[in-house]
Chain A
Amino acid sequence: MSGSDVTREGVQGARPGRDAPTGARAGRRRRRRGRGEQPMVPDAQFSSYYGKPVLNKPTWKPLDIAGYLYLGGLAGAASLLAAGAHATGRPDLARVAKLGAAGAITVSLGALVHDLGRPARFVNMLRVFKPTSPMNMGSWLLSGYAPLTMAAAAADVAGRYRLVGAGATAGAAVLGPAVATYTAVLLSDTAVPSWHEGYRELPFVFAGSGASAAAGLALASVPAAQAGPARRMAVLGAALEMGLFQLMKRRMGMLAEPFERGRPHTLLRAAEVLTAGGAALAALSGRRRERGLAVAAGVALMSGSAALRFGVFHAGVDSAEDPKYTVVPQRERLEARAG
């Protein structure tokens, strides 16, 4: 408290920022912004309890969960590439995409289990079927999808059971897009302001990001002659991801701020450069069939997609940690309702 004015010598030991004053001035917190950045709107006035967050921030470990979002997206889109390549007779592309999907989903499942407080109880996820819980639906989805990707990859590598392999490839391609986009619902279905508010566009951003990651994997490891679809997927995915992400931020108003500050800002800026650059390189690699170009494009696309997931993850956590993003939009909502 600043209540040190009880001393005889007048106000002493006042510690600014520790007051809990009443009304609109209460709980203002100053945050340092990134270099040279100007706030688009002046900081809103709001009250809080000593600047403490209203929400409990997610307990998820960034590497596990952002990594899971990334690998899930990569796997889902890779299953599309696999099915397309399988159907159009591009064996190298099909092999890479099938192995990529199976590998990515296995690692992402591992990350998911590793993040649990009680990993041994993972199967409890399947004790109910609960459409109100995106994590429950995701668990069911993955328990169908993961075996399909593994069967598809195994059949391809073994060169036997072709019919089973084709069926599994097709099945994985049907579930793949859902695997890539449901993770957006997973984040949005929380009270975390900057995740929840983006629920309309985030699935599209994740779809685009998954496509560019899968295309990147293919570009980096498949000969140019078979990589045509991957090149097109890279460009389309990058456009979808970047376009919808801009749209999302524009619609979110002040809740887009956490994307523009600190670590999320760095990550998202890197994602932008890498994804746009990767897509450009991918297009170029189609014309000048140089292996180096395609590999560079692939690496850029994959790391761009990863940076986007980590950026979105951290921005959400930041928005939960600052009471401003909880209080101000809710106040505005109340005022709007009061007319």
Chain B
Amino acid sequence: MTEANTTAARGSGGDPPPPSENLLYGPQPNVAQAAGYTDVPPRMGFFTDTSVCIGCKACEVACKEWNSVPEDGLEFTGMSYDNTQGLGADTWRHVAFIEQRKPLGGQEPGVGHEGFDVFEAARSLGTSPASPGPGATAPSPQAAPAGAPAGEISPVSPDGRTELRWLMASDVCKHCTHAACLDVCPTGALFRTEFGTVVVQEDVCNGCGYCVPACPYGVIDQRKEDGRVWKCTLCYDRLGVGMEPACAKACPTDSIQFGPLEELRERAAARVAQLHAAGVTDARLYGESPEDGVGGDGAFFLLLDEPEVYGLPPDPQVTTRDLPAMWKHAAMAAVSLAALGVASFVRRPR
């Protein structure tokens, strides 16, 4: 993604879709306008393609650097290469690491590259969609090359060990279409930006902590020594001047892709089709559907296993979807309590 993107996207024509009437759940084609903005740039987001993540944690580091996020504990978990463990007040990008007794789909162990002419390949860079040029960031939406094994399981290696695979995924705030954190915030510290993202105003937050258990993904948390809550801002400051977020900028494999959400969704669909064609039938999108329990995520993912394997909820729901029913039940309970009070007095006086 180029840095001119946000500014370019601002200028790009085309009428924005009208916002949906339902503000609590369901698809919302225009979050920013629903939040009260009039002249809005396209909604920006992340598409994190975990199939190319190498677990280098450049995103974690870049995020901490740019946003001056304090150290989040020097811990050795002993469970895996992941010592960060999860998102929180001081971790806005978290790279999950999973080791599985499962072959990597489409992988060809022991294949030699003798017949491959690198100079020939270099000459064709950028000329064919299968080998995009150095500036390209998006995987081309083509089917896998003819030679790719389709759905084959890697053989057991000669010494009798079965194959294993490593899954790596960079997790982040989902910038939900219907963000529970934002809905429940009593001070208005959490707000929707013109880019459709969700940001905390640290000068307003009073540290009530309500947003923390409201988030269905376990993202936002309180910084103990500071009292306030913190989370990913999708680099609101960088977006404002047309730059891409620090993590996407730093990601060496373009596992983290930044751009207008609509464009990312198209790209993601193509990438899944490509992986399926290559025999990686595990590949699936997570959080991209506007029909899901939070109306779709502004930051969505391509995963290679069930979401819960990565520590993500399989079917998150924005809690405020049920809020009207909750108020109704509370009102009925209040009336019952008043009736109970009256009933306590109506019997013969003593």
Contact = CB atoms under 8 A, between A and B. Distances in A.
Contacts of A125: 186-187, 206, 208
Interface of B: 24, 77-80, 85-88, 96, 98-102, 161, 164, 180, 183-189, 204-210, 212-222, 226-229, 305-306, 308-317, 319-320, 322-323, 325-327, 329-338, 340-345, 347, 349-350
A172 to B, nearest CB: 12
22 contacts: A20-B98, A22-B102, A49-B98, A56-B221, A58-B212, A59-B209, A117-B207, A117-B222, A117-B229, A118-B205, A130-B186, A177-B334, A177-B338, A188-B326, A189-B214, A191-B319, A202-B329, A203-B326, A207-B334, A210-B337, A236-B343, A333-B315
A208 B308 CA distance: 38
Contacts of B333: 177, 181, 184, 203-204, 206-207
Interface string A261-297: 0000000000000000000000000000000000000
Interface in A168-201: 173, 176-178, 180-182, 184-185, 188-192, 195-196, 199-201
Contacts of B213: 55-58, 190-192, 195, 316, 320
A59 B212 contact: yes
A196 B322 contact: yes
Given A20-B100, A54-B312, A226-B350, A191 B210 contact: no
B187 A228 contact: no
Given A59-B221, A131-B327, A132-B320, 19 more contacts: A18-B79, A26-B309, A53-B218, A58-B213, A117-B222, A117-B227, A119-B206, A130-B185, A133-B184, A133-B186, A134-B184, A178-B330, A190-B213, A190-B214, A191-B317, A210-B337, A228-B349, A240-B340, A330-B314
B95 to A, nearest CB: 12
Nearest to B343: A236
Given A80-B341, A88-B349, A320-B213, A190 B319 contact: yes
A325 B295 CA distance: 22
A28 to B, nearest CB: 12
A23 B306 CA distance: 8
B308 A46 contact: yes
Judged by DSSP, the binding face of A is helix
A254 to B, nearest CB: 15
A178 B205 CA distance: 26
A217 to B, nearest CB: 14
B334 A203 contact: yes
B216 to A, nearest CB: 4
Contacts of A157: none
A304 interface: no
Interface in A113-133: 115-119, 121-122, 124-125, 127-128, 130-133
